[in-house]
Amino acid sequence: MANLREIKDITICESTTEMLIKGRADNVSTAFDRADDIKPCPIGALQACCKHCFMGPCRLSSKAPYEKVGVCGANIDVFQARGFGRIVAAGTAAHSDHGREMSELFLSVAKGENSDYSITDVPKLMSMAKDMGVATEGREQKDIAIELGEKCLAQFGQQHGYLKLLDRAPKKRFQKWQDLNILPRGVDREVVEMMHRTHMGVDQDYKNLVLGAARCALADGWGGSMISTGLSDIMFGTPKPIEATVDLGVLEKNMVNIVVHGHEPHMLDMVCRLSTDPEMVAKAKAVGAEGINVVGMCCSGNEQLVRRGIPHAGNFMQCDSAIITGAVDAMFVDVQCIQMGLVPLSKCYHTKFITTNYRCKIEGAEHVEFHGEHGAREAGVELVTKAVENFKNRGVVQIPSKKTKMIGGFSHEAINYMLGGSFRGSYTPLNDNIINGKIRGVAGVVGCNNPRVKHDWVHAELVKELLRNDVLVVQTGCSAIAMAKLGFMQPEAALKYCGPGLREVCAAVGMPPVLHSGACVDNSRILEAVCEMVRAGGLGDDISDLPVAGAAPEYMSEKAIAIGHYFVASGVFTVFGVTFPVTEGTKFADYIFNGIEQDLGGKWAFETDPYKMAQLMIDHIDSKRQALGIHVQKERVLFDMEARRQL
Ligand code: MSK
């Protein structure tokens, strides 16, 4: 391949650097190399190509006169809005299909038809039941769980009304959605409708399309994703602060290494349990290994890291590197973010690359079908046995030594408890510290890695800049792993990286300044956290009043755009990096970057420079502080009796 970047320009991650050097010496190709080899299509990057019918494809560009239209007469704004709508529909479909899988699994457990999994978090069962309108008083736990499972599953195919968990939103926010007629009715209905509206000859009003996409995205955040997170918590436990270790150094030289990569927590859960099963351990010892080491990768790994402290090998752009170590005896994958390039790469080493889900088969990969609802243990035994049997085939092994300790597990419930204690659990202390200015605001920094930018660097520089300015950071997904590897999820990080106000709060509570909340599907936890902030009072009566902002600095997936759009539709200023599917100077661009704020209270921004990105977020936070009248730190006033009476 010609013109490959130097490795120092590809990543700031030490262990990835070491493995990319090895990979080049081994003459194998990685996604970083392919990104150098294949340039992005300039028309596609601007969302200026329409393939929605076969009179085209029609291509417009920023250089074409604004009046130029496609064969059907559709203009550049409709090209972009239709493309954007389909991206949101695809992202929503991905999260929500995962949510459906969790609902079906949960229902099989609730009915007692599945002994491979169980209900482990009864308080979460009760709170979720209440929010889904399931009566709990005087009823058997089993009956509550069955009704909850059925109600959750029905949300996907519901045709009328609105998704029940939207009731968690502040009243003003709900009213805004109702006034705009964008309350999602059912998850599947909104995805199907978006696909219909973007078909040739249907919706050709860019604003109507963007608002339709908002309805679809809300079905993701407040529907499919929120259901998935809630039911997974009931089965696998609601995260609370827990220690874990991240980076490629979690691989073990003398153990059978299994990397589980994908998005569905139940396969990883089963494989983890089997790794300590005496029969499986005996099998491992019989082939000369000391035992079985199961580690996560990407988001199912994130889910089980924040719940159980399972070691995590790395984020999306470290999958290649894990295989290049030569120490991965098997990589089991389920759905989402699985790169096809990992299959030929695994054949260059000894790694068994095994797909496990009927929805995600890859040519050249071995397939062992795993179903959570039936036969999970048997499939798990088959998978783990294949990894164990492959241990003897190892060649040269080079495991980077780098691994970092971290504290993760900050669900919105854990934040509530951490700040207020078990008897007075509340977001009031957080709000108080925002009002008194010690914490300037809160930022959600989430999303993927993208090989077109320096791996982990944009995440790191953005987060450093936010912390320096007293902005508390909440994270999910691959972004969280980037910061965990760099040590930002240790309480001591507050002393090193934070401004004086945030440092003081973190030191008092003993928490890290960067809070890991889970997988990309768990961004719904951040929605719940901002609802709690509104409920606690003092910071306005809508999410859009809060001094908060969101960012996905290295995103790459359609899911990320769906997440971004549900945050914008929920009233949050949201900045994306790398690239954005938009042609500047169009009415569509002006609407999503500006005008949409009038309608929804949130808006999009696009910026690739992490320092400018941070500035945009801080400026937004400051503007909200100003609107709330908390922008200047007030002198403490001592009240006399008369003043108290007036109060
Ligand atoms: S895994 S969607 S690269 S966060 Fe959720 Fe990471 Fe993005 Fe996949």
pLDDT surpasses 80 at 641:
no
CB 100 within 8 A of CB 224: yes
**27-41, 59-73, 91-105, 155-169: which has the minimum mean pLDDT?**
59-73
pLDDT surpasses 80 at 117:
yes
pLDDT of residue 147: 98
pLDDT-derived band of residue 6, with 50, 70 and 90 as boundaries? very high
Percentage of residues in the chain having pLDDT higher than 90: 91
pLDDT of residue 642: 60
CB 220 within 8 A of CB 371: no
pLDDT-derived band of residue 639, with 50, 70 and 90 as boundaries? low
CB 389 within 8 A of CB 289: no
Please list, in sequence order, all residues whose beta carbon lies within 8 angstroms of the beta carbon of residue 630, skipping any fewer than 6 positions away.
434, 435, 437
pLDDT surpasses 90 at 120:
yes
Closest Cα to atom 8, ligand 1: which residue? 337
pLDDT of residue 1: 65
pLDDT (mean) for 209-237: 98
What CA dihedral angle connects 515, 556, 299 and 480, to 10 degrees?
-20
Interatomic CA distance for residues 258 and 381, integer angstroms: 13
DSSP string, 425-448: --SHHHHHHHHTTSS-EEEEE---
pLDDT surpasses 90 at 423:
no
pLDDT (mean) for 522-549: 96
pLDDT of residue 638: 52
The better pLDDT of the pair 640, 449 is held by 449
Residue with tokens 């299959």: 343
Query: What are the tokens at 423?
Result: 């008897």
Which secondary structure element, helix H or strand E, spans residue 507, and what is its range?
helix 500-509
CB of 334 shorter than 6 A to ligand 1: no
pLDDT (mean) for 440-450: 97
pLDDT surpasses 90 at 3:
no
pLDDT surpasses 60 at 99:
yes
Q: Which atom of ligand 1 is nearest to the CA of 263?
A: 5
Mean of per-residue pLDDT scores for the chain? 95
The number of beta carbons lying within 10 Å of the beta carbon of residue 436 is: 14
CB 606 within 8 A of CB 593: yes
pLDDT surpasses 60 at 635:
no
CB of 552 shorter than 6 A to ligand 1: no
CB of 521 shorter than 6 A to ligand 1: no
Each residue's pLDDT tens digit, 544-593: 999 999 999 999 999 999 999 999 999 999 999 999 999 999 999 999 99
**CA 476 to chain CA centroid, nearest Å:** 5
pLDDT (mean) for 420-430: 73
pLDDT surpasses 90 at 631:
no
pLDDT surpasses 80 at 646:
no
Interatomic CA distance for residues 26 and 257, integer angstroms: 21
Each residue's pLDDT tens digit, 347-395: 999 999 999 999 999 999 999 999 999 999 999 999 999 999 999 999 9
Q: Which residues of 135-164 are buried (b: 16+ CB within 10 A; e: fewer)?
A: eeeeeeeeebbbbbbbbbbebbebeeebbb
Q: Please give the DSSP secondary-structure letter assigned to residue 356.
A: -
The better pLDDT of the pair 193, 44 is held by 193
Interatomic CA distance for residues 419 and 417, integer angstroms: 5
Query: What are the tokens at 530?
Result: 């901002």
CB of 447 shorter than 6 A to ligand 1: yes
Cα of 298 from ligand 1 centre, angstroms: 6
Please list, in sequence order, all residues whose beta carbon lies within 8 angstroms of the beta carbon of residue 6, skipping any fewer than 6 positions away.
none
Phi-psi region of 364 (alpha: psi -120 to 50; beta: other; left: phi over 0): left
pLDDT of residue 647: 43
pLDDT-derived band of residue 634, with 50, 70 and 90 as boundaries? very low
Residue with tokens 């260059």: 348
pLDDT (mean) for 273-291: 97
pLDDT surpasses 60 at 643:
no
pLDDT surpasses 60 at 640:
no
Q: Which atom of ligand 1 is nearest to the CA of 557?
A: 2
Q: Which atom of ligand 1 is nearest to the CA of 555?
A: 7
Closest Cα to atom 3, ligand 1: which residue? 448
CB of 299 shorter than 6 A to ligand 1: yes
pLDDT of residue 415: 86
pLDDT (mean) for 293-319: 96
Each residue's pLDDT tens digit, 322-348: 999 999 999 999 999 999 999 999 999
CB of 365 shorter than 6 A to ligand 1: no
**97-111, 414-428, 565-579: which has the minimum mean pLDDT?**
414-428
Q: What share of the chain is helix, strand, coil (3-state, %, to 5)?
A: 50, 10, 40
Cα of 631 from ligand 1 centre, angstroms: 35
pLDDT surpasses 80 at 632:
no
pLDDT-derived band of residue 422, with 50, 70 and 90 as boundaries? low
CB of 443 shorter than 6 A to ligand 1: no
Cα of 553 from ligand 1 centre, angstroms: 12
Q: Which residues of 209-234 are buried (b: 16+ CB within 10 A; e: fewer)?
A: bbbbbbbbbbbbbbbbbbbbbbbbbb
CB of 17 shorter than 6 A to ligand 1: no
Q: Which residues of 572-598 are buried (b: 16+ CB within 10 A; e: fewer)?
A: bbbbbbbbbbbbeebbbbebbbeebbe
Each residue's pLDDT tens digit, 50-91: 999 999 899 997 777 888 999 999 999 999 999 999 999 999
Interatomic CA distance for residues 178 and 259, integer angstroms: 45
pLDDT-derived band of residue 426, with 50, 70 and 90 as boundaries? confident
pLDDT of residue 61: 77
Cα of 441 from ligand 1 centre, angstroms: 25
pLDDT of residue 67: 87
pLDDT of residue 2: 63
pLDDT surpasses 70 at 397:
yes
